[in-house]
Every structure is written in C-alpha cells, then in structure tokens.
Structure 1
Amino acid sequence: MSNHAALRLGKELSELQKNPVEGFSAGLVDDSNLFEWEVFIVGPPDTLYEGGFFRATLKFTDEYPNKPPVMHFLTPMWHPNIYKDGKVCISILHPPGDDEYGYEKSSERWLPIHSAESVLISVISMLSAPNDESPANIDAAKQWREQKDEYKKKVKQFVRKSQEEM
C-alpha cells in the first residue's frame, strides 16, 4: 500500500508544482519523504486573513488515499476550526464513513477521490467562512459569534505576526 500512496503523492505534488493553484504552494519538508509536505497559504483576498502568510504541514499515512492527511498550521492561527495547537478540523479531513455524532454526512468526510489540492482549497474556503457549529477552538468560535469586532481585531494581530515571520 505504501508504494501506491507514494506514487499518488508524487504525482499530486508534481501536478501542483507544474500547475500551481492560487492561494497556496506546497513542497516536501524533506526531499526523501513524500509523506510530509510543507504548505504556504496566502490569506485569501476579501477575508480577515488577507495579507497573511501561513505555514502548515500536511502529513499523509501509507494508507493514503484511503485515509485523510492531517494538517497543522505552524503559524499561530485564531479560527473556530483550528485547534490551539494548529491542527485543522474540517469535515474533509475526517475519516471516511458515518459521523458517530451525526454532525456530518459521510459525503462531506474524506473520500479517496479527494487530494491534497482539494484539502488545501477546502482550508482556504474555511478561512473565509468558519463553521462555528462544531468548533475545534471554542474560544475563537464564541468570540466569532458574540464579539465579531474583537474577533476581527485578534485575527488582524495574527495576520500581522505572520507577515513579520516571513
């Protein structure tokens, strides 16, 4: 299985480098390991994250594409769907099958037809439209719902910090 995963990841990475998608770039953390990618996401225009530069990793198992990767932001983030340790929590990154809590349809969860590109596009979309129904960061979700101005201020601080770290 590991061989299949490595072949698929090599193909996906090569495709992304030949035909970059606006909003992010991806490469290997270490040239000898196809299973760990370093990603740079540019804060999407017309969002609170606009102008930010966010580093993240995508880690794949040798069961890819049957199992989803895990994504962690290395740049500190303030967002309802990102845990305080940087781990991203969105449906597409949840294992295939039914959600034991009934929040998500199985069609919203990971499917082998997804790719690193579809994950990154989903994450960019998540930055524009947080889902505060099942948050990973309760404090950020609460602030997003109840104190929009404070939330916006805090995100702007994180964006500024991301610019300084580049």
Structure 2
Amino acid sequence: MANTSGSAAAASLLKRQLKQMQTDKDIPGISCGLVRDDNIFEWEVMLMISDDSKYYGGGNFRAHLTFPPTYPLMPPTLRFQDPIPFHPNIYENGELCISILHPPEEDKYGYESASERWSPVQTPETILLSVISLFEDPNDESPANLEAAQLLREERENGSKEFRRRCRKCVRESLGED
C-alpha cells in the first residue's frame, strides 16, 4: 500500500511541477507536455538550443522524461527521440548519461561523488537546464558515446572539424532539413 501512496504523492508533485514549467515564461529553450494525457509520469520535452551554441546551435531536440513511482526519491530517465543527437553524453539508444540522473548511491566505479548524483532537491526544471548546459559544453570525460567523445577531444586538441560537422548534421535533422 505504501507504494500506491508514494505513487500518488509523486503524481501530485509532478502535476504541480509540470504546471509550473508550462506557465513560467522565464525558462528559455524548454517546452514540456505529457506524452499521453492519462500518464503524468511520462513527459515529452522539447529542448531548443540557443543559436549561438558552439556545436548544437539552433537545434530542437525532442526527448521523453520518464519518472518512477518513487520520484522524487529516485531520478527520472531522459531519452532523446529520433533524430538522436550525436553527443558524448547520449547513448546510441537516445538515453542521456548525466550525473544528476544517476541513483543516489555510491558510484561503484568511483567516478562520481554522492553530491553529483541524484538528490530529491532536483526538479524537472533543474534537470532540463542541466541538459541544455550539456549541449553548450559536452562532457567527454565519462562518455556514453565513445566516438563523439573522441571526435570532440580531437577538435579541442588539433582543430579537427569532424565533431562540429556531425553536430551540425544533427541540428539539421532536428529541424527536418535532412
């Protein structure tokens, strides 16, 4: 029975958070709604990356943010929809790899401290703002996409333009131009 009440509390919190995000005009580049009207636990989000972003400028990337019934104690998952961005922190299946969406437990690999991982103080807004920030400054230190991370490092080290070329292709695809 506790799981049902937890799920109801999570649903109530998510309804408030979604309404706030939909009415707050001070959140640039983020649009949220439900994937299906009868499921508050799955949101469809659109991330509109600023035109002046170095790699992904002008891109509009769709994703699903899926919350567990134990939210906010456990983190949601974020999975990009087709076309999936070519990004060091996005797996080929579209799932985002970012510390704040990792469960609040000890990192078995010792890469992340507990303070970098999920905490119930995170909200959908802080998550999505962090994702936009990741488009501005990709993290190649703990990659989900090894090829993207390698190409980003090559660009930073020797000026190779392959990473930037692949990113621009993703932006065009996100706009329906390819």
Specify if TM > 0.5. yes
Runs (5+) with no aligned partner, structure 2: 1-5
1:34-53 CA distances to partner (integer Å, 9 max, x unpaired)? 00000000013422111111
User: Which one of 5, 12, 23 corresponds to residue 10 of structure 2?
Assistant: 5
Matched residue, 1:68: 75
Shift of 1:95: 0.3
Matched residue, 2:115: 107
For normalisation by structure 2, the TM-score amounts to 0.90
Matched residue, 1:22: 28
User: Which one of 47, 51, 56 corresponds to residue 49 of structure 1?
Assistant: 56
3-state secondary structure, aligned to 1:7: helix
Shift of 1:97: 2.3
User: Which one of 127, 133, 136 corresponds to residue 125 of structure 1?
Assistant: 133
Shift of 1:117: 0.7
2:81 paired with 1:81? no
Aligned residues: 165
State which drifts further: 142-151 or 50-59.
142-151
Shift of 1:130: 1.1
| Structure 1 segments (4+ residues) deviating >4 Å | none
Using the alignment, how far apart are the partners of 2:51 and 2:92 within structure 1? 24
Using the alignment, how far apart are the partners of 1:145 and 1:121 within structure 2? 24
Q: How does 1:31-46 map to 2 (within 5 A)?
A: 31-46=37-52
For normalisation by structure 1, the TM-score amounts to 0.96
3-state secondary structure, aligned to 2:175: helix
RMSD (CA atoms): 1.1
Identity of aligned residues (%): 48
Using the alignment, how far apart are the partners of 1:135 and 1:156 within structure 2? 20
3-state secondary structure, aligned to 2:44: strand
**Are the counterparts in 2 of residues 44 and 127 from structure 1 also a CA contact under 8 Å?**
no
3-state secondary structure, aligned to 1:164: coil
What letter matches 1:156 in structure 2? R
Using the alignment, how far apart are the partners of 2:51 and 2:100 within structure 1? 23
Alpha-carbon spacing, 1:44–1:99, altered in 2? closer, same or farther (3 Å): farther
3-state secondary structure, aligned to 2:176: helix
3-state secondary structure, aligned to 1:39: strand
